[in-house]
Amino acid sequence: MALAKEIMGCSLMERSSFVSSSSKVFLNCTSTSYNTFHNKKQQQNFPLRKVSKLPVVAAISEDLIKAVPNSVPAGQKEKAVTFKVRAAVTVRNKNKEDFKQTLVKHLDAFTDKIGRNVVLELISTEEDPKTKAPKKSNEAVLKDWSKKANVKAERVHYTAEFIVDSDFGVPGAITVTNKHQKEFFLESITIEGFACGPVHFPCNSWVQSKKDHSGKRIFFTNQPYLRSETPKGLVALRDKELRNLRGNGKGVRKLGERIYDYQVYNDLGNPDRGVEFARPTLGGEKIPYPRRCRTGRLPTETDIQAESRVEKPLPMYVPRDEQFEESKWNTFSAGRLRAVLHNLLPQLKASISAHNRDLNSFSDIDGLYKEGLLLKLGLQEEIVNNLPLPRMVNKIQESSEGLLKYETPKVVSKDKFAWLRDDEFARQVLAGVNPVNIERLT
């Protein structure tokens, strides 16, 4: 009876789908081994005790383990984990806006709620191994633009959130798309949430509207690279940005563009008004320098080599980021007004005063920076007595007191007699200013 159980067990194992060929060889339970065993049993009495110790259960357990499916199917990668990073964006407002600019600003605040907003996108320094393109995040929108439209502060801070994969790497660039009607000055962007720490993007540039200049503005981090060491994810973007700045040398330049294309000075004269108004070209083969920014204006009617001029009040093309800011323009305007007053007052003095008030000592020169030009020349009483509107003149003097004073030179601001010493004398000689040429004070 025991022999029948052993034979039946071996037959069941042979037909079982759970037992592999390797297990059958290990157990010696194939059909060939069974026939040999049956023939030997007929010749001699084989002890059943030794056969009953075959490890049948162990073989079945081994195949059951192999049949358990894996948690991740073969040939499939584990899905990348995503996380959020935060962007802090600083935008600088204009100090003064006219009615048209204010109206467009409120219109942008309204359209920002319906999807016409400012969109950001992060770009990694690494390439995607499949597409060979730089890795990108999802597009993020600046938050609360419409709510902060009426903020009067000089700088306004906005936020945005990106969703990136865990294998995104380190961000090396960011793109900005302005879907508003009005340009804005982007000062800086800071990304927080990466393992490498905060990533800074110093922008300091005007971002034009998409309707005026299609395409995305590209800004890079403050990490400098040699061209041979530039990460693969940034090489194509660097080349694209360089082409955008150089231009193609065709077409008429628009005021909002930032193309640094150069041309010779062939617009100094206006030959259409006559031969006496023609001027030679500077910056050519004979006179290599200087050069100017190319504007692409039409040539004049009389000379095809000369470019037509831009007369006031039309503005001259200058790359947008090179135009005067409001603070610089105010300083320039104040300096221009001060120069006009400083040239006008000596003529006024010569026509009104009969006394000679030349500068006779160094203290008279110091007084120009302390007391003001009008008071130092001693014209207050004479102007009051000779002009028909003395009260108005006094008010003008009081309101323009800062404009009537010369700015103190830096050499004299720290040390009054610094210009007399040998070291300052040597510095001026090396700097190109020859102090030996100073002959007199007036």
Q: Can you tell me the distance from the alpha carbon of 148 to that of 115, in angstroms, rounded to the nearest whole number?
A: 16
Predicted confidence at residue 34, as pLDDT, reads 46
Please state whether 429 falls in left (phi above 0), alpha (psi between -120 and 50) or beta: alpha
Tens of pLDDT along 165-174?
999 999 999 9
Helices (H) and strands (E) in the chain, counts: 14, 11
- Of 421, 412, 399, 385, nearest to 337 by C-alpha is 399
Residue 162: HSE in the Cβ half-sphere, 13 Å Cα cutoff: 26
Q: Kindly give, in sequence order, each residue whose CB lies less than 8 Å from that of residue 405, ignoring residues fewer than 6 positions away.
A: 368, 369, 370, 371, 372, 373
**Taking the mean position of all CA atoms in its chain, how far away is CA 399?**
42
Which of the two residues, 376 and 101, has the higher pLDDT score?
101
Q: Are 6 and 47 in contact (CB under 8 A)?
A: no
Read out DSSP for 13-24?
A: HHH-TT--HHHH
Assign 183 a pLDDT band (cuts: 50, 70, 90).
Answer: very high
Contacts of 418 (CB under 8 A, 6+ apart): 411, 412, 424
> How far apart are alpha carbons 423 and 417 in whole angstroms?
12
Give the separation between CA 183 and CA 101, rounded to whole angstroms.
Answer: 10
Structure confidence at residue 333 (pLDDT): 86
DSSP result, 97-132: --HHHHHHHHHHHHHGGGT--EEEEEEEEEEPTTT-
Task: List pLDDT tens digits, range 349-370.
Answer: 667 666 656 677 777 777 777 5
* pLDDT > 90 fraction of the chain, expressed in percent and rounded: 40
Q: Hey, which of 69-73, 204-208, 337-341 has the most confident mean pLDDT?
A: 204-208
**Which position has the token pair 């200058």?**
318
The amino acid at 28: N
Average pLDDT, the chain: 77
> Measured between alpha carbons, how far is 194 from 1 in angstroms, rounded to an integer?
74
pLDDT band at 413 (very low <50, low <70, confident <90, very high): confident
Total Cβ atoms within 10 A of residue 266: 20
Cα gap 120→207, rounded to integer Å = 12
Cα 239 to Cα 27, 351, 421: the distances in Å are 69, 64, 52
Lowest model confidence (mean pLDDT) among 241-245, 312-316, 347-351: 347-351
SS3 290: coil
Dihedral (C-alpha) 101, 142, 119, 237: value to the nearest 10 degrees?
Answer: 100
Round the CA-based radius of gyration of the chain to a whole number and report it.
43
Contact 167, 233 (CB under 8 A): no
Residue 217 has pLDDT above 90, yes or no: yes
User: Is the bond preceding 313 in cis, omega lying within 30 degrees of 0?
Assistant: yes
42 CB-near residues (< 8 Å, 6+ apart)? none
Partner residues linked to 91 by β-bridges: 156, 186
Domains of the chain are 2-67 (no CATH), 82-246 (2.60.60.20), 248-323 (4.10.375.10), 338-408 (no CATH)
Q: What is the rounded average pLDDT of the residues 150-170?
A: 92
Both structure tokens of 114: 């319906």
Residues paired with residue 84 on neighbouring β-strands, in sequence order: 163
Contact 126, 151 (CB under 8 A): no
Cα 351 from chain centroid?
A: 56
